[in-house]
Amino acid sequence: MNRISCDLLIIGAGSGGLSVAAGAAQMGADVVLLERHKMGGDCLNYGCVPSKALIQAGKVAHAMRTASRYGIADVVPEVDYGAVKDHVHGVIDTIAPVDSQERFEGFGVRVIREEGRFVSETEVEAGDTRITARRIVLATGSRPFVPPIPGLDTVPYLTNESLWELRELPEHLLVIGGGPIGMEMAQAHLRLGSKVTVIEGARALGKDDPELAALALEKLRAEGLVIEEEALAKEVRGEDGRIEVETQDGRVFTGSHLLVAVGRKANTEALDLEVAGIETTRTGIKVDDRLRTTNKRVFAIGDVAGGLQFTHVAGYHAGIVVRQAMFGLPAKAGTDHIPWATYTDPELAHVGLTEAEAKKRYPSTKVEIARFAYDHNDRAQAERHAEGLVKVVIYKGKPVGASIVGHQAGEHINFWAYALSSGAKMRDITGMVSPYPTYGELNKRVAGAYFSPRLFESDTVKRVVRLVQRWLP
């Protein structure tokens, strides 16, 4: 058994683990990184990167079918699904060197490609190596959750991991789960030529603002996506090429392929956490607001920490941990300023509190809502993307939440994420000047919509203006 010691041991080479490793090593710490599978983790290999590459292929096919709205003849695209998957894997291959073992070894990180498990509160065993570390970071991520639906284990099914090896376009894709992963993959396959039915046990896009989610779902249904809500799967049966999903209310849906996309499960089982005195919860590892586990020498970040499961959250967590592990400076993680986006078309994005959440936290009579529609934006009209809405939740003159549905909503939510993190007020936003014509004007205009009633519907303002006008030379 080889024995080594280090300042910082990181288990998991996904986005969070890699961020910690790069930062700590370049600051001079002795860093060991364990990865049992692929460098880059879920995001690079099975999640964000391949899904967005597939979505883009679907957008191109859809643009060809709908070109007539720009005065160009519609064309029925010839989709080679295998070639589309080559495009997806080509994107992964292009990005992979950034997350490679060689690159991180160049930073001075010792990379060990083995699974790690605790053998004491400060020691981890990986293959034939035992590592003693002053601080340990758990960044093991999550995997697709496969629900215990009767019959599911008897039929072939796909998850966001196995989907990328499929080379033939599904004739009719059934998707169990109407969350972000399910809806993104459903629309992408619809645009590539599959029939698609989404089977959701509750409400599709249920974690987003209901008003904006409804607008997104209306557009998706208009495109031909079948979305069945309040359809809790009761049983799955069939065989390769013909699969049936029966729901609790007796409905039966038949398709050629099945994608299970009902959520994620934290990767904790192989770690032997109890040996290190680390407690878990239903959703992952128990952490405090500094991301420390019940073993104060051990941190947990990203999906395995049991909170918001987004790549950018893992990166944010990495910064919180680096400040503590490298400099001993206390740092706390928050969630009110964390944005997220669903990359359907239209996109759906959010940051901060929803309207309902704000009215629970603050006096409801003091919570205000400002809206501005895409169809009043000249750039959106010029590009035929005029269906959308920006909705901002305001308390005491400050934005405390924002939701956007529409073209590039994931890009536009950056503005409100910065506004919330910096403590900006709505009056600060009105002072911003956006170039014309851009979608960015939407954010300034929603601030204008907030102040308009105060200026144009106020009798006091009108009296003051009339008085001033009498005395002006």
CATH number at residue 426: 3.30.390.30
What torsion do the CA atoms of 88, 93, 99, 103 make, to the nearest 10 degrees? -170
Contact status, residue 382 vs residue 373, Cβ threshold 8 Å: no
Q: Is residue 93 part of a domain?
A: no
Question: In 3D, which of 46, 78, 55 has the Cα closest to residue 261?
Answer: 46
Both 193 and 121 in one domain: the answer is no
Question: What was the pLDDT predicted at 414?
Answer: 97
Which three-class secondary structure state does DSSP give residue 459? helix
Q: How confident is the model at residue 222 (pLDDT cuts 50, 70, 90)?
A: very high
Same domain? 280 vs 353: no
Separation between Cα atoms, residue 133 and residue 137, nearest integer Å: 10
pLDDT value for 457: 67
Burial class (CB in 10 A: 0-12, 13-18, 19+), 309: buried
- Cα(349)–Cα(339) distance, rounded to whole angstroms? 7
Residues 312 and 210 in one domain: no
Give the mean pLDDT of 369-375.
Answer: 97
Same-domain check for residues 369 and 409: yes
Q: Is the pLDDT of residue 461 over 80?
A: no
| Residue count of the chain | 473
What is the total count of domains within the chain? Answer: 3
Largest Cα–Cα separation, the chain: 92
Reported as a single tens digit per residue, the pLDDT across 6-53 is 999 999 999 999 999 999 999 999 999 999 999 999 999 999 999 999
Structure token digits, residue 126: 């990986």
User: What range defines the domain where residue 196 resides?
Assistant: 152-263
Q: Is the pLDDT of residue 453 over 80?
A: no
In a domain, 51, yes or no: no
DSSP string of 274-336, one letter each residue: GGGT--B-SSSB---TT-B-SSTTEEE-GGGGTS---HHHHHHHHHHHHHHHHH-------ST
pLDDT of 470: 78
Residues 374 and 432 occupy one common structural domain: yes
Residue 94 lies in a domain: no
Strand-pair category, 2-11 with 129-138: parallel
Tens digit of pLDDT for each residue in 163-174? 999 999 999 999
pLDDT tens digits for 333-370? 999 999 999 999 999 999 999 999 999 999 999 999 99
User: What is the percent of the chain where pLDDT is above 70?
Assistant: 98
CB 68 within 8 A of CB 74: yes
Q: What is the CATH number of the domain that holds 26?
A: 3.50.50.60
**Domain identity same for 406 and 452:** yes
Buried b (16+ CB within 10 A) or exposed e, 34-67: bbbebbbbbbbbbbbbbbebbbbbbeebbbbeee
On whether residue 75 sits in a domain, the answer given is: no
Does 246 fall in a domain?
Answer: yes
Claim to verify: residue 181 and residue 320 sit in the same structural domain: no
User: Residue 132 in contact with residue 123, Cβ under 8 Å?
Assistant: yes
Instruction: Read off the pLDDT band of 305 (50, 70, 90).
Output: very high
User: Count of CB atoms within 10 A of residue 387's CB?
Assistant: 18
Q: Does the pLDDT at position 462 exceed 80?
A: no
Rounded to 10 deg, the angle between the 15-26 and 311-327 helix axes is 30
Q: Which residues contact 303 (CB under 8 A, 6 or more apart)?
A: 42, 141, 142, 264, 266, 267, 284, 309, 314
Domain end (from 304, 327, 350):
327
Number of continuous H segments (helices) and E segments (strands) in the chain: 14, 21
Residues 29 and 135 in one domain: yes
Q: Which of 296, 333, 331 is nearest to 317 (CA)?
A: 333
pLDDT exceeds cutoff 70 at 207:
yes
200-226 in b/e burial notation, b at 16+ Cβ within 10 A?
A: bbeebbeebbeebbebbbebbeeeebb
- Asked whether residue 12 falls in the same domain as residue 133, the answer is yes
Q: For residue range 258-299, what is the model confidence (pLDDT) as tens digits?
A: 999 999 999 999 999 999 999 999 999 999 999 999 999 999
**For residues 441 and 415, is the Cβ–Cβ distance under 8 A?**
no
pLDDT band at 458 (very low <50, low <70, confident <90, very high): low
Are 323 and 331 spatial neighbours (Cβ–Cβ below 8 Å)?
Answer: yes
Task: State which of 217, 239, 263 marks the end of a domain.
Answer: 263
- What confidence score (pLDDT) does residue 10 get? 98
Q: Is residue 86 part of a domain?
A: no
Q: What is the mean pLDDT of the chain?
A: 95
352 lies in the same domain as 442: yes
Residue 172's alpha-carbon distances to 28, 52, 419, in angstroms, are: 54, 21, 43
Written as six digits, the tokens of 227 are 């979305």
pLDDT reported for residue 174? 98
Same domain, 257 and 245: yes
Question: What pLDDT digit, counting tens, does each position of 126-179 carry?
Answer: 999 999 999 999 999 999 999 999 999 999 999 999 999 999 999 999 999 999
Shared domain for 258 and 270, answered yes or no, is no
Residue 350 lies in a domain: yes
Higher-pLDDT residue of 454, 87:
87
Q: pLDDT > 90: what percent of the chain?
A: 94
On whether the pTM is more than 0.75, the answer is yes
Token digits for 30? 């002795």
pLDDT at 472: 81
In a domain, 45, yes or no: no
